Amino acid sequence: MANHRGGCSQPLDPGPCRFYRVRWYFDPQANSCAQFWYGGCHGNQNNFETEEICRKACVFT
């Protein structure tokens, strides 16, 4: 699994493309992960394939 810890504090960025797919991002204010529509290119590291991967990388208990 890639190290996404640095991406956890990045803002949501769906990217400019239109090959939409559901991905997950970390919302630091809520300390939780949420779904978003990823355009398929660019964006940033705050972009996870599953909620579980997002939670393991970013959620603090």
Q: What pLDDT, in 10s, does the model give residues 10-61?
A: 999 999 999 999 999 999 999 999 999 999 999 999 999 999 999 999 998 7
pTM: 0.87
Domain count, the chain: 1
33 DSSP β-pair partners: 26
Question: Which structural domain range is residue 29 located in?
Answer: 5-58
Q: How many whole angstroms separate alpha carbon 28 and alpha carbon 10?
A: 9
| CA dihedral over 55, 31, 61, 2, signed as positive or negative | positive
Q: What pLDDT, in 10s, does the model give residues 20-29?
A: 999 999 999 9
Q: What DSSP line would sit under 42-53, residue for residue?
A: S--S--BSSHHH
**Residue 18 is part of a domain; what is its CATH number?**
4.10.410.10
Token duo for residue 22: 């559901």
